Structure 1
Amino acid sequence: MAVAAVTTKPLDPTLHAPFPPMQPFAAPHPKKRLPAGRPREWYVAHNRRLKAMRLTIALLDSGVYQPSSASNRRIRRAAERLGMHRPSDLTCRMVRTLIRYGR
């Protein structure tokens, strides 16, 4: 019984190379000055929302897609990796809300 010989080109090695290591989280945009003349509460709320958004993006990038898996401990570890101050309980709650509606 005759067997046909099959010749194929070798696979492209770049297609099967392992993924490069992930870079540490970094802020993609430079910070801008906030507008003057607003009440202090506005600045506090604005900065809290920005922090929650950065933390949410970092968690989504790391594979956390469910609010139930985003514990305060996990959110605070992400903040450490980003070089942020420790987020409050309210900020952690905001992060979970953003994850819930960001899917």
Structure 2
Amino acid sequence: MPAAATRTKPKPTQSTARRPVPLDLPYSPVAKRPLPPGRPREWYVTHNRRLKAMRLAIALLDSGVYVPNQARDETIRSTAEQIGVHPPSDMTCHMVRALIRYSR
């Protein structure tokens, strides 16, 4: 009997990609490292904006917001308050929607 015929299929597991996760779980921030010195100020501003947008997009996806149309500015700002970050600017909200759009 061939070896392939004796193998059993792995059991399917439930994906957590579409399962809503409550935001009341304790938020544990990632350990911060110093940024590289010598870059222009605009680089640091953009870098920090991208990090904030990523954190917010992850929190929104975990809470069940999968479509950019669902992520209005008010929704994004209330999520920022829940996870403990400063309210995002309009540009950061735009970046969050872009990240959600490309997460699919």
Partners of 1:62 and 1:39 lie apart in 2 by 36
Residues 52 and 91, structure 1, Cα contact 8 Å, conserved in 2: yes
Residue 24 (structure 1) aligns with = 26
Please report how far the alpha carbon of residue 43 of structure 1 lies from its aligned counterpart in structure 2 after TM superposition: 0.1
Amino acid at match of 2:85: M
Partner of 2:75: 74
Gaps of 5+ in 1: 1-20
TM-score by length of structure 1 reads 0.75
Number of the residue aligned with 2:53: 52
**1:19-78 deviations in whole A, cap 9, x for unaligned?**
xx7513332x21111000000000000000000000000000000000000000000001
Distance in 2 separating the partners of 1:39 and 1:47: 13
Q: Does 1:100 align with 2:86?
A: no
Larger radius of gyration: 1
Which letter maps to 2:27?
Answer: F
Unaligned 5+ residue runs, structure 2? 1-21
After the TM superposition, list the runs of 4 or more consecutive aligned residues in structure 1 that deviate by more than 3 angstroms: none
Aligned-residue RMSD, C-alpha: 1.2
The one-letter code sitting in structure 1 at the alignment partner of 2:76 is I
| Paired residue secondary structure (2:102) | helix
Equivalent pairs counted in the alignment come to 82
Q: Aligned partners of 1:100 and 1:48: how far apart in 2?
A: 17
Contact 1:25 1:81 in 2 (8 A): no
Partner in structure 1 of residue 84 of structure 2: 83
